[in-house]
């Protein structure tokens, strides 16, 4: 019931961001959504309402600035705080600490819609939400009350710190240590490729408090002003340029034991639990990019002329567009099934989250890349949004567990179950 109340609050705020449902393409968005790819199919009235609000926010607050944020590498703090006013800073965090209390499916719907306005910014918001959920789920009452309210309003921002220079896919081999001295842990080590690193306020850090392997890993919250915490240079990236990426460096970093989430040795499980949802979230961001690119390509074919007629009359391009639309809808259905499985705690949830991440990030990248090809030379110009969608979602096949690791997880599940 708390979620319904939150939705009513969000619905009232929708008037602040415009009443008309728009897509996301500035001057190119003159045509509505084709029925066969309409992302509202199968949703409840409440879900359609906050989906519409997310689309509207993407159209009005994100899409007009997407190219500038990318070119100038702007971290759009104020825009994200506006999104938080709509409940998007703690979408699946519990209402008692300021969250919206929505489901994993609701979350996927929102992230898909927001990504049509800017994938990079939405992807960071998804990571922030994952960190917020981890504190809400595994933190004690004091920790939840201390951190979650300001994360939900995005007065403070969070980063997830698992990957290290020497441990990417093999996350359980991480080397960052946390030695207990009195009532503090002394952290030493470094984390690589951290989204928001240096610009965010709260760092969810996986560190080794015990022996080798996953059971020796714990999870602690490190605040930005902690002595011994520093950051590497801002990385120059192909995409995801509206969020900074830096190394997080811990040198005799003193963190109170009271900042540990859960018990010692539970950190790896906490990290993986977060990533299950993170994989659905990032797949949802890929969906938004693919949806935008299908719409952009459809509009382009209807107006671009070659050989005396519009490209929409070319059967080869018609077939390509049909394939793109089919892969988009198939991807959306898989993501939503995985989201339901995770929400319900089903035994197939981990495998389905991995399948969704693998299939959807691969296929949505192919959709966006095909969209660029069908735009011809124009698709390679930064005046056209398709190239940015291609650049921004390429990394989705790498992060939150590479797609090769997703194959390993799925195969392990298949082969470990008795027939």
Task: Tell me the C-alpha to C-alpha distance, in Å, between residue 267 and each of 186, 263, 304.
Answer: 16, 8, 54
Count Cα atoms within 13 angstroms, Cβ side, for 159.
Answer: 27
User: What's the chain's Rg over C-alpha atoms?
Assistant: 21
β-strands 184-195, 229-231 pairing: unpaired
**CB-CB contact of 59 with 22 (8 Å):** yes
Rounded to the nearest 10°, the torsion over CA 185, 189, 194, 199 is 60
Q: Residue 279 phi/psi, 5° resolution? A: -70, -40
| Residue whose C-alpha is closest to residue 351's, from 396, 408, 285, 399 | 408
**CB-CB contact of 170 with 217 (8 Å):** no
Q: How far apart are CA 312 and CA 72, in angstroms?
A: 35
Q: How far apart are CA 184 and CA 186, in angstroms?
A: 6
* Catalytic (active-site) positions: 400
Q: How far apart are CA 279 and CA 356, in angstroms?
A: 8
Quote the tokens at residue 133. 């959920």
In three-state secondary structure terms, 212 is coil
**CB-CB contact of 301 with 379 (8 Å):** no
In three-state secondary structure terms, 340 is helix
């Amino acid at each position: 019931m708390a979620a319904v109340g939150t939705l009513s609050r969000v619905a009232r705020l929708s008037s602040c961001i415009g009443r008309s449902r728009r897509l996301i393409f500035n001057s190119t968005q003159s045509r509505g959504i084709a029925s066969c790819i309409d992302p509202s199919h199968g949703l409840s009235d409440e879900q359609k309402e906050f989906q519409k609000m997310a689309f509207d926010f993407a159209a009005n607050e994100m899409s007009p600035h997407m190219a500038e944020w990318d070119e100038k590498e702007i971290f759009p703090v104020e825009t994200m705080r506006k999104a938080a006013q709509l409940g998007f800073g703690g979408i699946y965090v519990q209402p008692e600490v300021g969250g919206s209390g929505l489901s994993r499916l609701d979350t996927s719907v929102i992230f898909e819609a927001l990504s049509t306005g800017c994938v990079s910014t939405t992807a960071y918001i998804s990571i922030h939400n994952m960190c917020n959920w981890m504190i809400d789920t595994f933190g004690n009452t004091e920790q939840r009350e201390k951190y979650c309210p300001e994360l939900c309003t995005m007065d403070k921002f969070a980063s997830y710190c698992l990957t290290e220079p020497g441990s990417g896919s093999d996350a359980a081999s991480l080397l960052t240590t946390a030695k207990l001295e009195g009532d503090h842990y002394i952290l030493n080590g470094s984390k690589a490729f951290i989204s928001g690193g240096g610009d965010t306020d709260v760092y969810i850090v996986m560190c080794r408090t015990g022996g080798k392997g996953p059971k020796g890993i714990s999870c602690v919250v490190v605040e930005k002003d902690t002595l011994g915490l520093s950051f590497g240079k801002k990385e120059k990236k192909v995409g995801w340029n509206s969020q900074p990426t830096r190394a997080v460096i811990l040198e005799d970093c003193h963190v109170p034991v009271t900042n540990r989430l859960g018990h010692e040795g539970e950190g790896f499980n906490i990290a993986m639990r977060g990533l299950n949802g993170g994989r659905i979230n990032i797949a949802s961001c890929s969906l938004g990019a693919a949806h935008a690119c299908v719409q952009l390509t459809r509009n382009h074919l209807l107006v671009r002329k070659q050989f005396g007629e519009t490209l929409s009359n070319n059967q080869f391009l018609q077939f390509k567009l049909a394939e793109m639309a089919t892969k988009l809808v198939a991807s959306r259905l898989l993501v939503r099934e995985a989201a339901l499985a995770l929400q319900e705690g089903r035994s197939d949830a981990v495998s389905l989250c991995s399948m969704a991440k693998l299939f959807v990030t691969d296929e949505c990248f192919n959709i966006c890349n095909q969209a660029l090809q069908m735009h011809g030379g124009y698709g390679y110009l930064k005046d056209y949004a398709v190239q940015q969608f291609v650049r921004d979602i390429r990394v989705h096949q790498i992060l939150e567990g590479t797609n090769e690791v997703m194959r390993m997880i799925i195969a392990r599940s298949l082969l470990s179950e008795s027939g």
